């Protein structure tokens, strides 16, 4: 009985028609507005999308003020949806999201305000709102926003993206993520594998860092690494990358073999196997023979991949080298032969797991 009652109450609290009627009540008397806010707050994060949608469609300044005030009263649950709203195409939504986050967000959430605050692609009013929000969240004097600067913003975003890249784990459980949906004109919540969420968040931060410093090679490499890893994850590690305008492969093609080779070097350094596989897929299609003789960290990253711990990367490197059709001997040529020989001899069905407290004995 208690479970049925709980289910009934939850269904009532989250009913879209009820939530919309409460949002409409925000235009009522002060008492009606206060009651509506209390009930909206009890519904949690699900009230943010319909409020943001109404803000997207409304041209009434008074109504926009009512909806914005309601968001400031809803507390922590609406912070993740508002962070997603910072990437909305509408300038008005980005500014409102920054204003409200200044009142609600915690220091850990400041990460997502650095780009709106300092990116040259953002209009002036969004930058001002984001800088004021950052000052509030970080405990600085709002009159001294000049203490925050573009260099610090770029560095914070780059390090956060790199941290996500370094923490790559092949997790199977799902995780929630809020994103802006242009068709719905609001934010939507998705349940995705944790590994994919990690790549999406890392790509977002790397892109934001790149927007503020497009000429920095290390940021370019990190962004391309994230983009290749995400696309390779979505199509499957053993499938070719999609081609054509708007694809990551097209971005890699425009960036050139040397840029993709740097991505491969970064992936191997950080132990990011999916990114390494993605880079090797791209190099197999756009690479040149000069990659076999370039000097990155004392030797070619493509040749170094022949000795990477993961056999999938070894095989991808060997087949990529074959695609380059080497015209003369190169360091590691024997490794290509041994890797391909191993692949030909392997039946693909045999496997063994040894569990032992002693590593030497287990080996």
Predicted confidence pLDDT, tens digits, the chain (363 residues)? 888 877 776 666 667 788 888 898 888 899 999 999 998 888 888 999 999 999 999 899 999 999 999 999 999 999 999 999 999 999 999 999 999 999 998 999 999 999 999 998 899 999 999 999 999 998 888 777 777 888 889 899 999 999 888 776 666 688 899 999 999 899 999 999 888 888 899 999 999 999 888 889 999 999 999 998 888 888 886 777 788 888 888 888 888 888 999 999 999 998 888 888 888 888 888 887 878 876 544 558 888 999 999 998 999 999 999 888 888 888 888 899 999 888 888 656 666 788 889 888 888
Dihedral (CA of 296, 297, 301, 306) sign: positive
Residue 149's pLDDT is 85
CB of 80 closer than 8 Å to CB of 178? yes
Helix axes 248-255, 257-270, angle to 10 degrees: 110
What is the distance between the alpha carbons of residues 97 and 87, in angstroms, rounded to a whole number? 10
Residue 278's pLDDT is 85
Residue 354's pLDDT is 86
CB of 63 closer than 8 Å to CB of 71? no
DSSP state of 122: S
Residue 295's pLDDT is 58
What is the distance between the alpha carbons of residues 33 and 48, in angstroms, rounded to a whole number? 16
Q: Are strands 174-181 and 186-193 parallel, antiparallel or unpaired?
A: antiparallel
What is the distance between the alpha carbons of residues 191 and 170, in angstroms, rounded to a whole number? 16
pTM: 0.80
What is the distance between the alpha carbons of residues 246 and 278, in angstroms, rounded to a whole number? 17
DSSP state of 320: H
């Amino acid at each position: 009985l208690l479970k049925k009652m709980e289910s009934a109450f939850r269904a009532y609290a989250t009913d879209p028609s009820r939530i919309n009627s409460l949002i409409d009540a925000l235009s009522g008397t002060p008492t009606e507005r206060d009651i509506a806010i209390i009930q909206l707050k009890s519904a949690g994060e699900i009230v943010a999308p319909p409020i943001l949608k109404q803000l997207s469609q409304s041209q009434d300044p008074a109504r926009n003020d009512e909806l914005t005030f309601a968001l400031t009263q809803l507390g922590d649950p609406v912070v993740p949806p508002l962070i997603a709203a910072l990437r909305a195409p509408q300038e008005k939504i980005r500014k409102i999201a920054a204003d409200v986050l200044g009142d609600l967000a915690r220091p850990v959430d400041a990460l997502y305000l650095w780009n709106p605050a300092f990116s040259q692609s953002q209009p002036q009013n969004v930058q001002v709102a984001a800088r004021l929000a950052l000052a509030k969240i970080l405990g600085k004097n709002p009159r001294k926003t000049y203490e925050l600067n573009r260099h610090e913003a770029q560095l914070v975003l780059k390090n956060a993206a790199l941290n996500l890249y370094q923490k790559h784990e092949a997790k199977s459980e799902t995780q929630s993520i809020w994103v802006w949906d242009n068709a719905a004109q609001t934010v939507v919540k998705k349940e995705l594998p944790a590994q994919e969420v990690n790549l999406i968040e890392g790509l977002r931060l790397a892109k934001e860092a790149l927007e503020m410093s497009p000429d920095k090679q290390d940021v370019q490499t990190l962004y391309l690494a994230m983009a290749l890893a995400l696309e390779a994850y979505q199509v499957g590690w053993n499938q070719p990358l999609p081609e054509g305008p708007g694809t990551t492969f097209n971005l890699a093609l425009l960036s050139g073999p040397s840029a993709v080779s740097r991505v491969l070097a970064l992936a191997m350094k950080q132990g990011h196997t999916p990114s390494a596989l993605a880079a090797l897929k791209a190099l197999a299609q756009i690479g040149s023979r000069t990659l076999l003789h370039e000097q990155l960290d004392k030797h070619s990253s493509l040749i170094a991949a022949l000795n990477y711990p993961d056999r999938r990367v070894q095989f991808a490197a060997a087949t990529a080298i074959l695609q380059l059709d080497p015209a003369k001997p190169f360091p590691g040529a024997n490794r290509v032969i041994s890797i391909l020989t191993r692949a030909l001899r392997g039946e693909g069905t045999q496997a063994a797991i040894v569990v032992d407290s002693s590593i030497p004995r287990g080996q």
